[in-house]
Structure 1
Amino acid sequence: MKNASRLFLALIGLSLVVPVFADKDPNINAIKARQGEMQIRAHNLGPLIAMAKGKMPYEPKLAGQLAGNLKLLLDLDTSRDWPPGSDNKSYPHKTRALPNIWTSYPEIGKYGKDYATSVNELNAVAGDGLEALQSKIGAVGNTCKGCHDEYQEEHQH
């Protein structure tokens, strides 16, 4: 009986918490998901860039782990995070994704392929020394910048 009461209370608690995380608009959920993924990428890429620029000490183990995390994210299926109509014109102030993302397929896929190639190359050498990291980190940043320049609204300060 004691376990049944705990289970009942847990289910009640869950029913109160789940609606907080689930938005009624599935496009808002998709926007939040892709923004979260970009934050995770930035969280891992930032220290690698800082190491490459000498703004923080180069740590081979950490550099390898961070590059490995970026590589792991390549396997994430984000197709559900990009539903048509989830752009900045439909959701101003919620996303900076331009509508041309959805009208430029398959051309936009080149950016994803270039990003994957650059991340794989970075992952192969990130822990092998500062010069190795520096030789590959720029390509990752350039692929991010290329896609963002073409498919993301400029950040308004």
Structure 2
Amino acid sequence: MKAIVRAWVLAVSLSGVALALIPQVHAADDDPIGKAIKARRGGFQLYSFYAGHLFGMAKGDIEYDAELASTMANNLNTVVNLNNGAMWPADSDNTKRKGKTRAKPNIWAADSKIGEKSKALKTAAADVAAVAGDGLDALKSKIGAVGKSCKGCHDDYRAKEF
């Protein structure tokens, strides 16, 4: 029952936040590239939040909780599978938008492997979501692939500094 109440409160709260942001979203339309960069950075914050809990549990920094692990892994799997193509318009790289993004221009290159990197993250997130609630050992067996997929993209496509 508590879980249902929490879910309902969260849904109502998020609806209120969404409604409050509508005027701000329209105000940002005069800079669609800036808006896209903000949106994708927000997406990465979600990745970090959900994966961070899972990494913390795997390392022993956060006490393992099957329900929380399952929730975090399922949420991670959901957000990595959103179609975020509109968040990656041309000219939204760190050379064109200094100080706003760490996305390197090679993401948009013809020989870019970004699609493969994204697929690896999606696979890793699905794999960890399938087992995260099955015990700490099960979580540990799959969470490393999430970290590896994140690193694979960061190494090639993310600048160290803004």
TM-score scaled by structure 1? 0.84
Determine which of 86, 89, 100 is the counterpart of 2:92.
86
Within a 5 Å distance, the mapping from 1:1-157 to structure 2 comes to 17-18=23-24, 21-104=27-110, 107-155=113-161
Q: Percent identity?
A: 45
- What count of residue pairs does the alignment treat as equivalent? 142
Unaligned runs of 5+ residues in structure 2 are 1-19
Which whole-Å CA distance do the structure 2 matches of 1:121 and 1:19 have between them? 34
Q: Mean Cα displacement is larger for which, 45-54 or 100-109?
A: 100-109
- Bigger helix share: 2
RMSD (Å), alpha carbons: 1.9
Specify the code of the residue in structure 2 equivalent to 1:89: T
Which whole-Å CA distance do the structure 2 matches of 1:19 and 1:117 have between them? 32
Runs of 4+ in 1 over 4 A off after TM superposition: none
Q: Mean Cα displacement is larger for which, 142-151 or 74-83?
A: 74-83
C-alpha change, 1:65 and 1:91, in structure 2 (3 Å) is same
TM-score scaled by structure 2? 0.81
Q: Residue 20 of structure 1: CA displacement?
A: 7.6
Unaligned runs of 5+ residues in structure 1 are 1-13
Q: Residue 23 of structure 1: CA displacement?
A: 4.8
